[in-house]
Structure 1
Amino acid sequence: MTIAGGLAVYFVIWWTVLFAVLPFGVRSEAETGEAHVEGTDPGAPVVPGLVKKALITSVIAAIVFAIVWYIWAAYDL
């Protein structure tokens, strides 16, 4: 696997994992019972925690990428 190919595979894995991680721990304005902010959707998250989720995504994607790289190298694809 070339460096460019590895980066491309990691990029795809990272975005896939991000979409899987995004819904965890999200509480909407309606669920928390806080006053609805005018102009926002009641289902909008109160605290999305995107930095924390990006870090978690990076760690999980690195683990998945290591497994993919190992399989790729082991079978000499």
Structure 2
Amino acid sequence: MPIGPFTIVAIYIVCWWVVLFTILPLGTSKERHEPPTDGAQWGAPDKPDLKRKFLTTTWVATVIWLLVMALVYIGWMPLPDLAPPVP
């Protein structure tokens, strides 16, 4: 089932955001023994390491996206045809 480039990119963006929100809490610690004095929030991590998390998100999302695209193209996960019928 051929799908358009817009749909392919949209599926990748959805995969990337889902993986990002899955990876963001990994490696953070809630334990803070003294109250923050620099205006930071109690729940904010000391070292968020966002660059590593974005890189990890990108390669994990790419693997998941490739799996989803393979399932769509072999027909195990068909996408609905939303185009109106041609008269």
Q: How does 1:1-77 map to 2 (within 5 A)?
A: 1-28=3-30, 30=32, 33=33, 36-75=36-75, 77=78
Q: Which amino acid aligns with 1:50?
A: L
Q: Which runs of 4+ in 1 moved over 2 A?
A: 33-38
Asked if structure 2 preserves the Cα contact closer than 8 Å seen for 1:18 and 1:57, the reply is yes
Q: Hey, what's the Cα distance between the residues in 2 that align with 1:22 and 1:42?
A: 17
Q: Which amino acid aligns with 1:54?
A: F
CA offset digits 1:4-44 (Å, max 9, x no partner): 111000000100110000000013461xx477233211221
Q: After the TM superposition, which of the residue ranges 12-21 and 67-76 deviates more from structure 2?
A: 67-76
Structure 2 residues without counterparts, runs of 5 or longer:
79-87
Q: Hey, what's the Cα distance between the residues in 2 that align with 1:51 and 1:34?
A: 27
Q: After the TM superposition, which of the residue ranges 33-42 and 48-57 deviates more from structure 2?
A: 33-42
Asked if structure 2 preserves the Cα contact closer than 8 Å seen for 1:13 and 1:61, the reply is yes
Secondary structure of the corresponding residue to residue 70 of structure 2: helix
TM-score by length of 1: 0.84
Asked if structure 2 preserves the Cα contact closer than 8 Å seen for 1:22 and 1:53, the reply is yes
More helix by share: 1
Structure 1 residues without counterparts, runs of 5 or longer:
none
